[in-house]
A and B are shown apart, each in its own frame.
Chain A
Amino acid sequence: QVQLHESGPGLVKPSGTLSLTCAVSGGSISSSNWWSWVRQPPGKGLEWIGETYLGGSTNYNPSLKSRVTMSVDKSRNQFSLNLSSVTAADTAVYYCARSEYGSGSPYYWGQGTLITVSS
């Protein structure tokens, strides 16, 4: 059973960079699946951040594209998200996820980690 676990700092200062890692167990980061990041501000809906495939192809939300970088570490079986120039609007629960079926919609999800942007 694939399991995903996000880890991050919890608190990030405004204008800083948010860095998150998603550790993968029960499956290989090199498998033919889309690896995604999705976030959810407190009390609000889901927002797709981006996805990467086999550590090569990446797609980002156009509204975040200038600030987002996703990468894959095959040696550690994990993938990462960097979001720069953060503001309070980036405060959210951040989820990592992996596709399983069809057109690549996220199927396996981490439990989520709350990131607060505050000084």
Chain B
Amino acid sequence: QSALTQPASVSGSPGQSITISCTGTSSDFDYNSVSWYQQHPGKAPKLMIYDVNNRPSGVSNRFSDSKSGNTASLTISGLQAEDEADYYCSSYTSSSTRVFGGGTKLTVL
């Protein structure tokens, strides 16, 4: 299956903004269907963004995303300690399958 590539780790200080990229290696991806998940250790993933910059009810507007070409990016503004977690992008494909990126560990310094 084609891959979505994310940086292994990013870090930032409280109050700062960080961006996590998600780059597709194939034209199979529907970049309008990219979703982002947050996962704390030992917990199930939590949907933070779906279908490019749509937030489920209850998700802070500090989380936003954007798309440029074959890269989607998640931005977290006003970093808080509780944002420290693993983040995964996901996309639907033209083969009617879904794929996750490899995940990015966010450290709040």
Contact = CB atoms under 8 A, between A and B. Distances in A.
B62 to A, nearest CB: 19
Interface in B23-37: 30, 32-33, 35, 37
Interface residues of A, number: 25
A36 B88 CA distance: 17
Nearest to A44: B103
A43 B103 CA distance: 11
The listed residue with most B CB atoms (<10 A of its CB), out of A45, A100, A105, A111, is: A105
Contacts of B61: none
Q: Please classify the interface of chain B as helix (H, G, I), strand (E, B), loop, or mixed, using the class held by over half of its residues.
A: strand
A14 interface: no
A60 B98 CA distance: 9
Nearest to B44: A109
Interface of B: 1, 30, 32-33, 35, 37, 39, 44-47, 50-51, 54, 56, 86, 88, 90, 92, 95-103
17 contacts: A45-B86, A45-B88, A48-B97, A48-B99, A59-B96, A59-B98, A95-B45, A101-B47, A101-B50, A102-B33, A103-B35, A103-B50, A103-B51, A105-B35, A106-B47, A110-B44, A111-B44
